[in-house]
Structure 1
Amino acid sequence: MHNVVVATTNPAKIQAILQAFNEIFGESMCHMESAVVDSGVPEQPFGSEETRRGARNRVSNARQQHPDADFWVAIEAGIDEDSTFSWVVIESRTLRGEARSATLPLPAVILEKVRAGAALGPVMSHYTGIDEIGRKEGAIGVFTAGKLTRSSVYHQAVILALSPFHNAVYR
């Protein structure tokens, strides 16, 4: 049984992480525990590096809170080149895996509000009327008519970030 600490309480992120770990390591082979930790970056990170730094910081802070875990996982969403995306960072005691998610181009009206200082989630909630949309389908769900969701896009990135942990060539 693997003890996995997820640096989030966001249901969309937790669902993606749980699904990916179950697919890679087997159903019921992982125990998930949430940790509330600081990212060390603004609520709405801009650029790939700031967003990746936020995910790395979350993993580091989760490790400090829960040093006996087997894995620490963080997903940080950001804005880069007029699109939203995420970085996934996963660490074990000896390895780190990182992957960037697919990107979703955002409409100018949304970007204008975000560039003015608002976080994407509250802006999307305002335009859609969906409370806490970032904990649900997210902008991705809205702009893809439900064909993709935050969780489904995160899931793919978590699988990619897990590749060093189940492929011997990385060791």
Structure 2
Amino acid sequence: MHNVVTATTNPAKIQAILAAFELIYGEGSCHIDAISVDTGVPEQPIGSEETRAGARNRVENARAVRPNADFWVAIEAGIDEGSTFSWVVIESADQRGEARSATLPLPEVILEKVREGEELGPVMSHYTGIDKIGRKEGAIGVFTKGALTRSSVYHQAVVLALSPFHNAIYGQRG
């Protein structure tokens, strides 16, 4: 059984991580240890690099808190070029996988509030009336009429970030 430390307590993120690990390693193959750690970036990261830095920082901080795990996983959501997206970073003792999620274009009315310094989740909650939307379907669920959710989009990125861990060709040279 793999001990997987998630650098988040967000249910949408944990659901995606568990589903991806079970897809790759088999049902019941993982134990999730969810912890809250600092990102080292603003609450609402702007740009790909700041968002990826937040995910990397989460993994580093999770490793410091729970050093005896098989995997450490972080998902950091951000805003870039008028869209929301996420970076996923996964580390084992000797390897790292990273993947960027699909992006969702945001309406200008939402982007204006984010540019003024507000976080996407509370802005979306204000416009939709859905309390703590970021821990549920997120903006993605609202704007895709439920066809996609935060968790479903995260799931795909986690699967992609896991690819170096179970494909031997990543370790081959030339």
The TM-score range, normalised by the shorter chain, is: over 0.9
Residue 76, structure 1, aligned to residue 76, structure 2: yes
Matches within 5 A, 1:137-152: 137-152=137-152
Runs of 4+ off more than 3 Å: none
> Corresponding residue for 1:160?
160
The one-letter code sitting in structure 2 at the alignment partner of 1:16 is: A
State the secondary structure of the residue aligned to 2:147: coil
> Corresponding residue for 1:91?
91
How far apart, in 1, do the equivalents of 2:114 and 2:17 lie?
27
> Corresponding residue for 2:169?
169
How far apart, in 1, do the equivalents of 2:107 and 2:70 lie?
40
| Unmatched runs of 5 consecutive residues or more in structure 1 | none
How far apart, in 1, do the equivalents of 2:28 and 2:63 lie?
22
The one-letter code sitting in structure 2 at the alignment partner of 1:14 is: I
1:26, distance to aligned residue in structure 2 (A): 0.6
The one-letter code sitting in structure 1 at the alignment partner of 2:70 is: D
How far apart, in 1, do the equivalents of 2:28 and 2:64 lie?
25
How far apart, in 2, do the equivalents of 1:48 and 1:139 lie?
18
> Corresponding residue for 2:125?
125
TM-score, scaled to structure 1: 1.00
1:118, distance to aligned residue in structure 2 (A): 0.2
How far apart, in 2, do the equivalents of 1:166 and 1:52 lie?
22
Matched length: 171
> Corresponding residue for 2:38?
38
> Corresponding residue for 1:29?
29
Q: Give the aligned CA root-mean-square deviation in angstroms.
A: 0.3
Percent sequence identity over matched residues? 80
1:93-134 CA-partner distances (Å, limit 9, x unpaired): 011000000000000000000000000000000000000000
| Unmatched runs of 5 consecutive residues or more in structure 2 | none
1:89, distance to aligned residue in structure 2 (A): 0.2
How far apart, in 1, do the equivalents of 2:12 and 2:35 lie?
15
